[in-house]
Structure 1
Amino acid sequence: MDAAGEEEFRRFVQARWNALVRTAYLLTGDQGRAEDLVQQTLVKVHRRWDHISRDETGGGPYAYTRAALANESASWWRRRRVAETLGEVPAHADRATGDVYAAYDTRDEVARAVLALPPRMRAVVVLRYFDDLSEAATADALGMSRGSVKSQASRGLERLRTVLAQTNGAPERSLS
Structure 2
Amino acid sequence: MTAMATLTIVRGDITEQSVDAVVNAANSSLLGGGGVDGAIHRRGGPEILAACRALRAGAYGKGLPTGEAVATTAGRLPAGHVIHTVGPVWSQAEDRSALLDSCYRQSLRVAAELGARTVAFPAISTGIYGWPVDDGARIAVRAVREAAGEGIEEVRFMAFDERTHRAFEAALATNGG
Q: Which has the larger radius of gyration?
A: 1
Higher relative contact order (CA 8 A, sep 6+): 2
Superposition TM-score, scaled by structure 1 size? 0.31
Alignment TM-score, normalising by the size of structure 2? 0.31
**Higher share in strand:** 2
